Every structure is written in C-alpha cells, then in structure tokens.
Amino acid sequence: MGQPWDIVNLDKKDLWPGRDPICNKLGEWFWSREVITLVDLLTERVEAQYRGWSAGNKKEDKATNLARSKSKLLKLPPELICAVFSKLQYIVDVINLCLTHDYLGEVGEPVLEVRIRQMAAFWAGDHIMCFGAYAADDDFPPQVMPYVLQALPPPAPEPVETGDTARPCIVENGEASEAANDEGPKLDDEHDDSSAEKEVHEGDIDGGTDGEHDDSDTSQEVHEGGSAKYTPPPTEFYHFCRQNYSRGFEYFDVDDTLIAAYGRIALTKSEKQRLDNLLWHGVRNLVKMPPYRSRVLCNITKGVYVRADAVDDLAIRVSKTVKLGPGLTITLGQAMLSMICWSSDYSCALRCDSERLARGPWTGDAFRVTTFDRWNPKEDTRAWRDASDEVVQWLEELWKTSVIGEGDV
C-alpha cells in the first residue's frame, strides 16, 4: 500500500484540507496544484478597508422596515444580537443571519469583519510539517518533540519480575523499588523453573547446547545468524493526529467556495442586493491575495526566506519541455513541501533522493507568507538570509528525477 503522508499544523491541531484522502502517498499529490493552498493559508492579505454592509441603502428605509417588523429578534438591543453572532461557529451562518434583514446585517457587520480577517492567513506564524505514517515517535526533530510528548501519554512502568510473581515497579526519588508482595513471603527454597528455562533458551541462541530446541517456544523470534527480530519503534503520533486533529476547519475562499455556493440559491432581489454589498464590496477587499510573484515564504524559526518569483522562473523553464497542469505544477507550495517532510521510513512514491526528502531541514518550523511591500528583511530587527537559490536547486533536482526521470537516484 505504501506510506501515507499528511500535512499538520502543530499549533492549531489541524490537518491540511487540500489533500485528497484517497491520495495517501506523497508522490500522488506532491506536484498537485492543490499544494498552493498551503501557501494561501500562510499568506497575509492585502491591506484593505472594509466597506459598510448596507452601501447604497437609505437610512430612513431601514428605520421604517425595522419599525414595521414583528420579529422579536429585531427588538433585542444590539449587544444581545452581537452575542448571538459571536456564538455562530461558521462564517456562512454569520452571513446567512446578516442576509435576513438590513438591521441584522449592520449589527453583525463588525463580527463578520473580524471573522474574515482571522480566516485570512489562518496558519500564518504556526509550526507546520508533512510527516509519514512510519515516523517513529522518538525520531522527530527537537522542535517537534514537545508536541509529540504533549499528545501521547507516557508509557506505563513495566512490572519487575521477582521469582514466580510480578510486582509493579515504583519510582521513588529517581530510583526503582519493588512493591510489597501481598500474597505472602517468597520461599527461598522454591525453584524458579522459568529462570532455568530462560537460561536454556539463551544457551540455544548462543549455540551453547547440543540438544534440539523448538523455536516456537521462544518469546523472541530469531533470524539466521542468531540475532533477534527487529521490532520497529511505535508510530502513534501520526495516527493520533489523523484521529484527533481536524481537517474540516473552515478554509475561506470567496471565489471558489462562498460565491459558488450562493450562486446555486434562488435569492430575491433585495437578498441579492444585500449579498452583493457584502461579497463584492466588503469581503473581497478583505481576502484579496497579493500578486503571486510578489510573495515571500518566510521561515520564522531559521530566519530564511524563499521568493516566489525565483520558483516561478523555474516553472517557466520546465514548462518549455513539459506541459504543466492541475496534477503537475511547480509553485511556492512545492518549494515549502520539499523542505518540511519527515519520516523514519524513506518511502515516498517519488523517484528521488528519498532520504534527503524525508528528513527535511525545515520540518516543524514556523512559517508565514508576505510581500516585500509589507516587509523589508534589511530593516528587520533580526538577520534574514535569502535561501531561494538552494531551495530552487533542490526543487529542480526533484523535478528532474521524479517527473522527467533524469539524473541518478
């Protein structure tokens, strides 16, 4: 079946929503266009001023409509209505309530603006990694281990074997001691058959006995050469994340999600006017993405950044020989993904230097995406380094070996 991979936000305990659950192997979605949504979740939006909900409507019309309304909800003071808005979990529910009346739209407008601004760049500044199902729990980078230890309970202490009874091991002041045996004192003249049997088995493994020995009786399977069978370390953290972390968090995309959803609903003329005032004059300004080539992927942990224009130049070069499409793209998302993969097993369904890919040096680091218009690395209080050339070189090597089939692996 191969090793499944997933992208996780360690701080928000979210799984990346862009991956198709059917496509588990890394090679099945590494070059997919959907990977760019990973960058969108980190991208700070263009500064914009929110335009009022009721643009173009007359004040007297609202007052008249409110006075004529028999709704008890509209009779509540604005503070209580705001409390109702704040309890709504999904932004679509906030919009739906705003659409029911101009007055509710005005009262819910500040709540809606805050929610939209929060959802833009939802993952900015968080620690991100892409890890495989075979990543051992004790084999993560130092910056990831605190999250693993927080998620997984410590193992229970193993009982201490003392003769024919097993008593639990109690740790006192850093030293292990045996608990008292409530079943009575141990007789010194009792013979421990299990110990003798253990000694005989050990002798068989070492080749120290001449008698025949049935391997099925041993508690540990033996390979040729006398070595014990390898038992892989536990990989519980991956499965813990898949079972407990959310993939269904609300990723807000006006063009592809919200507008398309409301486009399938038959609205009245007044409802359509309210929706137009909200989406086209308000929301779109708040979630407007900066131009792609102007974006900069910043590794906050290590103080390095990658320019989107450098990655885009690579995409332009390779497009002259290979036709790019939805399932075959080179974006800033692939550049980031190539540096944050981690697993103890190097199987990734890509023909490449899988060991280098599966031990990404940026695994678990904190990221954000901005532009040079908003941020100047030379004026920052910390020193920043442009890592675009080395990341693009590694990304081009991945492309040549896994897609074109050039180079040695």
Same domain for 111 and 130, yes or no, is no
Asked whether residue 305 is assigned to any structural domain, the reply reads: yes
Higher per-residue confidence, 338 vs 21: 338
Q: Same domain for 257 and 372?
A: no
- Mean pLDDT for 158-183 is 52
Print the SS3 string covering 369-399: EEECCCCCHHHCCCCCEECHHHHHHHHHHHH
Element (H, E) at 26: helix 26-29
Identify whether 324 is part of a domain.
Answer: yes
How far is Cα 292 from Cα 39, in angstroms, rounded to an integer? 10
Are both 321 and 386 inside the same structural domain? yes
Q: What is the DSSP string of 256-320?
A: IIIHHHHHTS---HHHHHHHHHHIIIIIHHHSPPPPGGGEEEEETTTTEEEEHHHHHHHHHHHTT
Residue 165, pLDDT > 50, answer: yes
Q: Give tens-digit pLDDT for 92-123.
A: 788 888 877 778 877 887 787 777 766 677 88
Together in a domain, 41 and 108: no
With a threshold of 0.75, does the pTM exceed it?
no
Model confidence pLDDT, tens digit, residues 28-84: 999 998 898 889 889 887 665 555 554 444 444 555 555 556 677 787 888 888 889
Alpha helices (H) along 89-225: 91-99, 102-119, 145-151, 193-206
- Give the number of C-alpha atoms closer than 13 A to the C-alpha of residue 355, restricted to the C-beta side: 1
Structure tokens at 170: 């109690």
Residues in the chain: 409
How far apart (Å, rounded) are the C-alpha atoms in residues 102 and 311?
A: 46
307 and 280 in a single domain? The answer is no
pLDDT in the model for residue 315: 94
Q: 142 with 67, same domain?
A: no
User: 91 is in which domain, residue-wise?
Assistant: 59-119+253-286
**pLDDT (tens digit per residue) in 245-284:** 877 554 545 445 555 556 666 777 777 776 766 666 556 6
User: Last residue of a domain, which of 286, 310, 329?
Assistant: 286
Regarding whether 11 and 138 lie in a shared domain, the answer is yes
**Of the given ranges (73-77, 162-166, 188-192, 304-308), which has the lowest mean pLDDT?**
188-192
Residue 221 has pLDDT above 60, yes or no: no
Count of domains observed in the chain? 2
Q: What is the DSSP letter of 352?
A: S
